[in-house]
Structure 1
Amino acid sequence: MRRSSKPKPISCPPPGSILVPADSPLAAERLAEYQRDSPVPPSPETDSGSESLKLSCQPLISLSTGMPEASTNAETLSSLTSSFKDKMKMDKVRSVGGSSTHSVKQAQDLDQKKVTVQVGDRYKGTGQSSRRRLQAANLDITRAFQTCREEGTTRLDLSKSNISNIPTSVKDLTHLTELYLYSNRLATLPPEIGCLTNLKTLSLSENVITSLPEQLASLQVLRVLDCRHNRLTEIPSVVYKLVSLTTLYMRFNRIRDVDPELGNLVNLTNLSIRENNITELPGRIGELKSLVTCDCSYNQLKHLPPEIGDCTQLASLYLQHNQLEDLPMEIGNLTQLCQLGLRYNRLKCGSIPRTLANSILLEEFNVENNCIATLPEGLLASLDNLNSITLSRNQFTAFPSGGPAQFINITTLNMEHNKCDRNALRILDLEENYLESIPAEVGRLRELTRLILQSNALTQLPRAIAQLSQLQYLSAGENYLAFLPEEIGSLEALESLYVNDNPNLHSLPFELALCSNLQIMSIENCPLTQIPAEIVAGGPSLVIQFLKVQGPYRTM
C-alpha cells in the first residue's frame, strides 16, 4: 500500500510551550544545550539509515528535552519539512562547484533521502518508504565499548547491527571472553583485535569477510572461531596459529585448499568445512587426535588420506555430496564412529573396505546415489548397532549377502531404484511385526509362491493380491481383518489359506469357492456370523460348499 503524501497530524505542544522557527537564534541555543546534555555522544554514524542532519546554521529538529512538541496543524509540519528540504537543496547547490544541471540532480537525489524528525518519544519520517529503507544499526559502537569496559562485562553481542567496521577502541576490551559479531557487514577485523587476549569465543559468521589480521594469533586462549557464511577463499594462515582452538567453523565459504598446517590444531574436537570447493584433505589431518566431529560434506573430495584413520576419537564423519571414488582401508580404525555420511558420491564395487566392519557403533548405513553393486561379505551383519540401511539409487541386482542376520535390528531398509529383479522373489515372510497395511505394490511380485503376514495388525488385504497368480500359500491369521477381498478368487494356484484368529472377520467372499486347488483353510476363532453356525461347525470343506451353493458361482 502506498503512503499518502498528506502529512499526518501530531500531538499539540504542552501548555506554555511555543514552536521555535528553524532560523531562530533560540533554536540554535537549545540545540547546543541538548547536545551537551545528551547521554549518547554525537557520532558521525547514523542510527537509522537517515542522512545526518548537519547544517551550517540552525537546523530544524524537535527535541524531547527543552524543546516544545510540534503543533497539531498538519500544514505547519508540512511547511516546516518543505522549508527544511529547500534549505538542504540550497546549501547543496551552493557547496558544489560545476554545472547547475549536476547540482540540481544532486539536490533531487537528496530530496529522495530519509529525513527524521523526533516528536517526543516518536519519530516522524518523510521521503523514503519504510519498505525500501535499509536496515541499519540503532547502536553507537563506541558507546557500547565504553559501557562494556565500565561494567566489566565479559560477553559482548553486537550481532545483526549492520556494522561495517570495528573501531580501534576495541583494544580496550581486554577483559572480554566472548564476542559475537555475526550477521553484520564486516570485511575484516582491525589489528587491535589482537589485544583481546582473554577471548575464548569469537563469532564472525554471516559477514563478508575475505581475510583476518595476523594479530589474531595473539588470542592464545581462543576456543571457538566461527567464520561460517563469509567470502574466504582459503583458511587464513593466522588460523593455523590458534593452537588452543577446539571448534572451527568454516562452512559456506569459497575455500579451495586446506593447508597441511591444519595439523597444528591438535586440540580441535569439532571441525566444519562443509559447502566449500575443497578437492583434498592434507595428510596431517591425522594429527588431530582429539577430533570428534568432522564435517567435509558438499565439497569436491575424490579421496581421503589414509591418515584419517589416526583420528581414532571420531564419532561423526560427514562426507556426503562429494566425488569420493573409494575409502581407505584405515577407516576401519575409527571404532568410535557412530555417524558416517557417504550418500551422493561415486563409490563403486570394491570401494568400501571390509575393515569398516570394525566400526560397530554405526547407527546408520547410507550409501544412496553411488555406483555400488555389492558390499563386502557380512559387512552389514557385523554392524550390530545399525537401525537404518539405505542402499537406494545404486547398481544392486540382489540383496547384500549376509542372510537375515544383517537385518535383525533394522527398522528401515530402502533399496529403491536399483536393478534387483523383484519378479524373482518367491517367499515374502513378514510375520510378527506391527504392520497395519500392505502396499498395493505387492502385486508386482508375480513369482511369489508364499506370502506370510501372520501376527500383525492388518485390517484388510490389498486387492492387488489378485495379481499373484503363482501364490500357493497365504497366511494372514492373528490380525484384525474385517473381510477378504473378492479378488482372492483369482488365486487359482492357492493351496493353503490361514485366516484364523481374526476377531473382526464375520464373513467370507463367495469368490473363495473359485480357488479350485485350495486344500487347507484355517478359520478357527473367527466369528463368521454371516454364515450359519452349523455350517461353520461342519468345518472348512462345508463352508466352501456353502459359498459355492449360495453364491453366484454355483453353476460353475
Structure 2
Amino acid sequence: MPLKRLILFSLLSNATFLFSQKEFDKYGPLGCQVYTDLKEALKIEKKVYKVDLSYQKLDLKLYEKIANLSDLQALKLSGNEVTDYPKNFESLFNLLYFASYNNKLNTFPTLKGLYNLQFFELQHTLIDSIPAQIAYLSRLQSFKFGNTDDTLKLPTTFHFLKNLKDISIENCVLDSFPKELFKIPSLYYLNLSNTNTWYLTKHFERFPNLEVLVIENNPLAKIPFDIYKAQKLRLISLRGNNLTKLPDSISQLENLSLLDLRGNKFDADEMQKIKFLLPGCEIKF
C-alpha cells in the first residue's frame, strides 16, 4: 500500500487512546514537565501546564484542589474512580485539552468558563446527553465521545462550533439522526461508528472541507447521490453496514484514495461496477 494511503488507513484504527496521547503531547509550552503526581503538582501550583493522572486512584481531597493549578493547559484522567469533576473545574480558563477515560462521570462539566478548550474527550462515562452549552466552547477543534452503551441525545447547538474539525462519536445509540453534525462546514473528520446511524442526509455540500468519513457498524442501507459534493473526501469507511450498492456519483470524488466496504452485501456485479467507477482508488470488499 502506498505511503499516503497507509497514513489515511491508519485513521481507521481503534487506537483511540494512542491518538489522544498524541494530542496530549501537543499542548503546553515546548518541553514543559508532565506531572503525574498530583500532590507534587499542587505543591508548586504556578507554571504547572500538563497533568496526566492516568491509572491511579486519587486522593479526593487533593483532587478537589485541581483548580488551584491556574496555569494548567492539559489534563488527562483515566481509571481514577471519580464520578464528578474537581471543585471549581470551570475556573481553569487556560485549559486547552481535557480527556477522561473509564471514570463514571454522569454529566458534563460547567462549560462556560472553559472557553479556551480545543480538545475534549469523554470515554466510558454514564453520560446520556450532550448539553446545549457545548456552544460555549467556541475554540473547540476536536470532540470525541463514546462507549456509553446507552442512548445519546445531541443538542441543536453543535453547528455553532465554527472551529470544530474533528468529531468522533462511537459505541452509543443516537436518539435521532445527527443532523446538527451535518451543519459544520469546518469538519475535516467525521466518525459515527456503532451509533445506529441508519440514514445520511443528502446535504454533503455542507462539508466543503471533509476529508475522512467513517460510518462503521451501523444499519446503513443507502448512500445519498449527493455524497460527491464533499469534493475533498480522501477516505471513506463504510464497514459493517447493510449496503448493496453505491451511487454512480461516487466516481466524481476525484481525491478519494481509499474506500473500505468490508462487511456489506455487495454482489459480484456491483463490486465490479464500483471498481470501474473508481479506477485510481484502493477498494476493500
User: C-alpha distance in 2, partners of 1:286/1:348?
Assistant: 30
Cα separation, 2, equivalents of 1:158 and 1:366: 37
Q: TM-score, normalised by structure 1?
A: 0.39
| Aligned-partner Cα distance in 2 for 1:310–1:236 | 26
How much does 1:288 deviate?
1.0
Match of 1:184 in 2: 103
Residue 208 of structure 1 corresponds to 126
What does 1:329-478 align with in structure 2 at a 5 Å threshold?
329-348=248-267, 351=270, 354=273, 357=276, 359-363=278-282, 365-367=283-285
> What is the distance in 2 between the residues matched to 1:327 and 1:250?
24
Deviations 1:168-206 (A, max 9, x none): 51221111111122221112113x222211110111122
Structure 1 unaligned segments of length 5 or more: list them. 1-38, 41-134, 368-556
Structure with the larger strand share: 2
Deviation, structure 1 residue 301:
0.2
Residues 323-344 of structure 1: per-residue CA shift (max 9 Å, x gap): 0122111111112112111122
Q: Secondary structure at the match of 1:211?
A: coil
Given the two structures, how large is their TM-score scaled by the length of structure 2? 0.73
Amino acid at match of 1:172: S
Q: What secondary structure sits across from 1:307 in the alignment?
A: helix
* Corresponding residue of 2:65: 143
1:302 partner amino acid: A
Deviation at 1:237, TM superposition (A): 3.1
Verify the 8 A CA contact 1:309 1:334 in the aligned structure 2: yes
> Do 2:131 and 2:154's aligned partners in 1 also have CA atoms closer than 8 Å?
no
Q: 1:271 deviation in Å? A: 1.0
**CA deviation after TM superposition for structure 1 residue 357, in Å:** 3.6
Find the residue that maps to 1:194 and give its secondary structure.
coil
Q: Which deviations, in whole Å up to 9, do the C-alpha atoms of 1:283-339 show, x marking residues without a partner?
A: 224411211111101100000111211111111111111101221111111121121
Partners in 2 of 1:261 and 1:162 — Cα distance?
33
| AA at the equivalent of 1:143 | K
In the alignment, what sits opposite 2:199? Answer: 280
In structure 2, what is the Cα distance between the partners aligned to 1:351 and 1:257?
Answer: 30
Q: Is the 8 A contact 1:249 1:272 kept in 2?
A: yes
CA distance in 2, matches of 1:233, 1:213: 11
Tell me whether 164-173 or 199-208 shows the greater mean CA deviation.
164-173
Alignment of 1:27-426 (within 5 A): 136-139=57-60, 140-146=62-68, 148-149=69-70, 152-167=71-86, 169-190=88-109, 192-230=110-148, 231-255=150-174, 257-348=176-267, 351=270, 354=273, 357=276, 359-363=278-282, 365-367=283-285
Overall identity of the aligned pairs, in %: 23
SS of residue in 2 equivalent to 1:273: strand
What number of residue pairs does the alignment pair up? 230
Q: Is the 8 A contact 2:166 2:187 kept in 1?
A: yes
TM-fit CA distance, 1:268 = 0.9
Secondary structure of residue in 2 paired with 1:262: helix
What is the correspondence of 1:545-556 to structure 2 with a 5 Å cutoff? Answer: none
Matching residue's letter, 2:114? L
**What is the root-mean-square deviation in Å for CA atoms of aligned residues?**
2.4
* CA–CA distance in structure 2, aligned partners of residues 358 and 205 of structure 1: 38
Contact 2:66 2:86 in 1 (8 A): no
| In structure 2, distance between residues paired with 1:232 and 1:298 | 16
Segments of structure 2 that go 5 or more residues without pairing to the other structure are 1-41, 44-55
Tell me: higher relative CO, structure 1 or 2? Use CA pairs within 8 A at least 6 residues apart.
2
CA deviations over 1:443-495 (Å, ceiling 9, x no partner):
xxxxxxxxxxxxxxxxxxxxxxxxxxxxxxxxxxxxxxxxxxxxxxxxxxxxx
SS at match of 2:123: coil
Aligned AA for 1:233?
L
